[in-house]
Amino acid sequence: MKHCRLSLFSLLLLLSLVVSGSAADSTAVLRDGDIVFHRSLSNLSQAISLVTGSEITHMGLIFIRDGKPWVIEAGGTVRYSTYEEFIARGAEQKFVVKRLASADSILTRAKIDSMRVAADRFVGRNYDGQFNWSDDQLYCSELVWKIYHAVGIDLGTLRKLKEYKFDHPIVKEQLRRRYGDNVPLEEPVIAPSDIFDLPTLTIVTQR
């Protein structure tokens, strides 16, 4: 009987360690090249949501550094933020992390290293609030798309600015402030929701 009680205690202790470990280390599932999405709290977020019809308005690319996940993102500038910092800046701290379904075979160590080099090249550049397709300034989805493109992987097909919705008064005001009467309707664009909705991505974790 004593042996049975001891075995039951050992089992419960083991289960508690497993549960507490998974809660304390919820980032363990993350890998280099994962993409994290959320609804930003920035002033531009509402307009992006209205234009795209999606709650997803911001995104970043995850790299593991010294065993911890960091996110390269285009905010005020292109910069690295800790994973926790990125999550904390989302609405209600909700987020979704996605990964290429074929990541195990496609994202080799050599490609990840090349993606890191491409990402570092963009660090410090200003955020592109006019959504031009140049490398001088970048917005969030453009940044992630171009880092993947550097290793021959396209995260979706580029669209033209004119393909999005511009009928809401808030959107019209944003367009007027940014472009005046010269909206670049033919400009290549990729929105966070365009990448989020790709069938080639699978969910890794979310809240």
Question: How many beta carbons lie within 10 A of that of residue 61, not counting itself?
Answer: 23
Report yes or no: 186 and 164 within 8 Å, Cβ to Cβ.
Answer: no
* Tens digits of residue pLDDT in 176-200: 988 998 999 999 999 999 999 999 9
User: In the prediction, which pLDDT does 1 show?
Assistant: 47
Which of 126, 127, 146, 137 has its CA nearest to residue 190? Answer: 146
User: In the prediction, which pLDDT does 26 show?
Assistant: 62
User: In the prediction, which pLDDT does 196 show?
Assistant: 98
User: In the prediction, which pLDDT does 6 show?
Assistant: 41
Query: Is residue 34 over pLDDT 90?
Result: yes
pTM: 0.86
* Tens digits of residue pLDDT in 65-77: 999 999 999 999 9
Residue 8 vs residue 159, higher pLDDT: 159
